[in-house]
Amino acid sequence: MVLPCAAESASSARRLVESAFAAWSGAELVPTATLLVTELVANAAEHTGCRRVGVAVRRRPSVLWVGVRDSSGELPVLMDPASEAESGYGLGLVEALSRRWGVESTPCGKWVWFELGLEES
């Protein structure tokens, strides 16, 4: 799904994740997955200056994968929890709540992604 690079696009990303996870027997993971995709879309909107984001969901054996693509080559930064900042902790949530997460650079930007395990429900 391609969406405008705006915080408001998180609602469309959540609906995509919710419908895909429900179809793939991952309904119990929807609350976590929708929270995390919201964080990734918000990060792209706030920090990249891109015009559009891509959101993709995939089912792999025992894992549901969600990725958000943007056109910025700048890599996201995981904030130090001891920091005094009032924002910037979205990737910390992604790290804490996902099985694993990462960033893949592409010729036209990057994917920031996370995985949730089906057996972890």
DSSP letter assigned to residue 99: S
Give yes or no for residue 120 having a pLDDT over 90: no
Using CA atoms, how far apart are residues 83 and 87, in angstroms rounded to an integer? 10
Distance CA 23, CA 4 (A): 25
Confidence of residue 7 (pLDDT cuts 50, 70, 90): very high
Percentage of the chain lying above the pLDDT 70 cut? 92
CATH code at 100? 3.30.565.10
Alpha helix (H) ranges present in the chain? Answer: 10-23, 30-47, 90-97
Q: What's the domain count of the chain? A: 1
Q: Which domain holds residue 7?
A: 2-120
Q: pTM to 2 decimals? A: 0.91
Residue 10: strand, helix, or coil: helix
Q: What is the pLDDT of residues 63-98, one digit of tens each?
A: 999 999 999 999 998 877 666 666 667 899 999 999
**102-112 average pLDDT score:** 96
Q: What pLDDT score was predicted for residue 25?
A: 86
